[in-house]
Amino acid sequence: MTEPTLEAKGKTMTKPLMMTLDRYLRTRERIGPELIVTIESVAHAVKRISNELARAALKGELGYSGTVNVHGEEVEKLDAWSDKVFVDAFSAGGPVCTLISEEMDEPRHLKAQCTRDSFALLYDPLDGSSNTDVNGALGTVFAVRRRKPGHGDSLADVLAAGTEQIAAGYALYGPATMLVFTVGDGVSAFVLDPATGKFMLWREKITMPPRGKTYAVNQANAAKWHPGARALVDRFTGPKDQGGGYSLRYCGAFVGDFHRCLLNGGIFLYPGEISSGRGSAGKLRLMYEVAPLSMLAEQAGGAGSIGHGRALEVVPGNIHERVPVYIGSAEEVALADKLEVEGRSRS
Ligand code: P6P
């Protein structure tokens, strides 16, 4: 029996099909047993993080850990704790043999789990963690890639374009905890029912509006951007009859800003900066932030770009490589690319 596809009727939603994540995973031909186990383990880690975030203030678990990560960013207590939740969830057996995390300088090789059909899991356990202490939006981002047989400790097979991802998704910890992912045949969203601890299907085959009304960027950095990025934001803030009239919505968590684009349309951008070192490529990391969300964007009919090319075609030089990012509705991303190219040709 094929389940009726849940159709979104405008913004009002038909009642969820009351289908659990576990059952949904088993109705999809593209999802084999190893990927089912992997996505269910992600969901388990997300539930633990969701529960902890709800109680952290009461338990005195907010604030900084006192350490700095490989990116030079202060590590929140919950960053480190969330990363350990993932390590624990995937070290107890299963098809994942390599963990690559924003919070780990080097990959974690789970050698005992390496077989011919192993996966690498790439993740940011707690995205937007500067929001932790102010009860703001937070997320988890993940991607799954197949490992090539005989990889050993080499990462050559993982350091490939994002088109190699076989699954990608995120959790958004907001008023509700949502899990949104794709395995390459459309984007599905689940909402965690606190009463049962089950992820319930909320929407499937989500399509991103081709154009939105909001843009998301840290505009305080405008003086450091290339001309194309400035021209793009000038367009959004200009007269409505000249393609402007947009509103700025920026929450400090990539996942939260992306989720708004996925459902309502619009664009998130974190441009590169005219400076040396880190700034020249912007802030966001390709392998466990930009590539996973770019897969989702494309699967929903949107786009993910680095300003002069498709983000999913970028081959990383290292696991923590940063890239500029313009992601969201197809029309806004195409405009971003156009203005970026024009800006560079003039400078
Ligand atoms: P800024 C969070 O640290 C993050 O990686 C993204 O989730 C977020 O969009 C961005 O950085 C915010 O950066 O420079 O605006 O604080």
**What's the rounded Cα separation, in Å, for the pair 155 and 153?**
7
pLDDT of residue 189: 97
pLDDT of residue 304: 98
What is the distance between the terminal CA atoms of the chain, rounded to a whole angstrom?
59
Task: Starting at the earlier edge strand, list the strands of the sheet with 267-270.
Answer: 247-248, 214-216, 267-270, 325-328, 303-305
User: Could you tell me the distance, in angstroms and rounded to a whole number, from the CA of residue 233 to the centre of ligand 1?
Assistant: 18
- Return averaged pLDDT per consecutive 10 residues of the chain, 347 residues in all: 45 64 94 96 98 88 77 80 97 96 96 90 95 94 95 92 98 98 97 97 97 98 95 98 98 98 98 74 95 98 96 97 97 97 85
Q: Whose CA is nearest to atom 13 of ligand 1?
A: 252
Q: How many CA atoms lie within 13 A of 211 on its CB side?
A: 10
Instruction: List the chain domain ranges.
Output: 5-203, 214-338
Q: Tell me the two tokens of residue 53.
A: 């975030």
Q: Whose CA is nearest to atom 16 of ligand 1?
A: 252
Name every protein residue with a CB atom under 6 angstroms from any ligand 1 atom: 127-128, 130, 218, 252-254, 283-284
Q: What is the DSSP string of 302-319?
A: -EEE-SSSBGGG---SST
Which ligand 1 atom sits nearest the alpha carbon of residue 253?
Answer: 7
pLDDT of residue 6: 44
- Buried b or exposed e, range 330-341, using 16+ CB within 10 angstroms: bbbbebbbebbe
pLDDT of residue 15: 54
Which ligand 1 atom sits nearest the alpha carbon of residue 218?
Answer: 15
User: Could you tell me the distance, in angstroms and rounded to a whole number, from the CA of residue 129 to the centre of ligand 1?
Assistant: 9
In degrees and rounded to multiples of 5, residue 181 shows phi and psi of: -155, 165
CATH class (in words) of the domain with range 5-203: alpha beta
| Contacts for 159 with CB less than 8 Å, ≥ 6 apart | 315, 316, 317, 318, 319
**What's the rounded Cα separation, in Å, for the pair 23 and 306?**
37
User: Could you tell me the distance, in angstroms and rounded to a whole number, from the CA of residue 300 to the centre of ligand 1?
Assistant: 23
pLDDT of residue 282: 87
Q: What is the DSSP string of 73-111?
A: PEEEHHHHHHHHHHHHHHSSSSSEEEEEETT-SS-EE-G
Task: Name 20's bridge partners.
Answer: 200
pLDDT of residue 66: 79
Q: Tell me the two tokens of residue 124.
A: 């940011």
pTM of the model: 0.93
Check whether domain 214-338 has CATH 3.40.190.80, yes or no: yes
Q: Whose CA is nearest to atom 14 of ligand 1?
A: 218
| Contacts for 181 with CB less than 8 Å, ≥ 6 apart | 39, 42, 142, 167, 168, 169, 170, 187, 188, 296
Q: Tell me the two tokens of residue 335.
A: 């405009």
pLDDT of residue 156: 94
